[in-house]
Chain A
Amino acid sequence: MKSSRVLLWLAFGLSPALVLALSPNAYQGGRSRSAADRNARNSSAIAVMLGEFRTSMSDLLFVKTERYLDSGIAYMPHIDDHLASVQAETAELAEHHHDAEHGHVEETGHVHGPDCDHGHDDGHADEAPHAEGEFAGTPTIIRTPEDDFRGFIGWLHREVKPWRDPRLGHEHTDGTELLPWYRMMTMADPHNIRGYAIGAWWLTDHSPEEAVRFASEGVENNPEAFQLHLILGRVLYAQANAILADTGAGQTQIAPIIDRAIASFRRGAELAIAQRPPGGYLDPGDSGWDESLEEDALASARMAVLLLENHGDLAEARRLASDYTQVFGVDYVLERHAAAPVSPEPHH
Chain B
Amino acid sequence: MTVKPTLLIAKSVLIEAVRRREVYAVVLVSTLLIGLVMTVRFFGLEGLSKFYREIALKVMGIATALTVVVLASRQLPREFETRTIYPLLAKPISRTGFLLGKLLGVLLGAGFCFALFMAVFLAGTWVLGGRVPWVLFLQHVYLQMLMLLVLATLCFWLSMILHLDAAITIGVLLFLLAATFTTVTSTLYDFASPFGRALIVGLTYVIPQLALFDLSEKAVHGEAWEPLRLPVMAALTAYAAVYTVIHFSLALLSFRRRSL
A residues in contact (CB < 8 Å) with B: 68, 71-72, 141-143, 148-150, 152-153, 155-157, 159-162, 171, 173, 176-177, 179-181, 183, 203, 206-207, 210, 214
Complex CA distance for A206 and B225, rounded to whole angstroms: 26
Name the distance in Å between B152's Cβ and chain A's nearest Cβ. 21
With contacts A143-B186, A153-B212, A162-B218 known, is A71 near B225, CB below 8 A?
yes
B42 at the interface (CB under 8 A from A): yes
Name the distance in Å between B142's Cβ and chain A's nearest Cβ. 12
Q: Which residues of A contact B221 (CB under 8 A)?
A: 68, 71-72, 162, 173
Q: Which residues of B contact A71 (CB under 8 A)?
A: 221, 224-225
Q: Are A207 and B45 in contact (CB under 8 A)?
A: yes
Name the distance in Å between A175's Cβ and chain B's nearest Cβ. 11
Name the distance in Å between B105's Cβ and chain A's nearest Cβ. 28
Closest to A156 in B: B212
With contacts A71-B225, A72-B220, A173-B224 known, is A210 near B43, CB below 8 A?
yes
Q: Which residues of A contact B204 (CB under 8 A)?
A: 150, 153
Q: Which residues of B contact A183 (CB under 8 A)?
A: 40, 42-43
Interface mask (B25-55 → A, CB under 8 Å = 1, otherwise 0): 0000000000000001011110111110000
Q: Are A161 and B217 in contact (CB under 8 A)?
A: yes
Closest to B187 in A: A141
Residue among A142, A152, A153, A179 with max Cβ neighbours from chain B (10 Å): A153
Q: Are B51 and A177 in contact (CB under 8 A)?
A: yes
- 4 additional contacts (CB under 8 A) given A72-B218, A72-B225, A183-B42: A149-B189, A159-B232, A161-B217, A162-B217
Interface of chain A: mostly helix, strand, loop or mixed: helix
User: CB within 8 Å of A: which of B143-159?
Assistant: 143
B18 at the interface (CB under 8 A from A): no
The list of the 10 closest CB pairs from A to B, nearest first, reads A71-B224, A180-B51, A177-B50, A72-B221, A210-B43, A72-B217, A71-B221, A180-B42, A159-B232, A156-B212
Complex CA distance for A337 and B44, rounded to whole angstroms: 41
With contacts A156-B239, A159-B228, A162-B221 known, is A203 near B43, CB below 8 A?
yes
B201 at the interface (CB under 8 A from A): yes
Q: Are B42 and A179 in contact (CB under 8 A)?
A: yes
Q: Which residues of A contact B212 (CB under 8 A)?
A: 153, 156-157, 160
User: CB within 8 Å of A: which of B34-88?
Assistant: 40, 42-45, 47-51
Q: Are B186 and A180 in contact (CB under 8 A)?
A: no
Contact of B232 among A160, A173, A180, A181 (CB under 8 A): A160
Q: Which residues of B contact A72 (CB under 8 A)?
A: 217-218, 220-221, 224-225
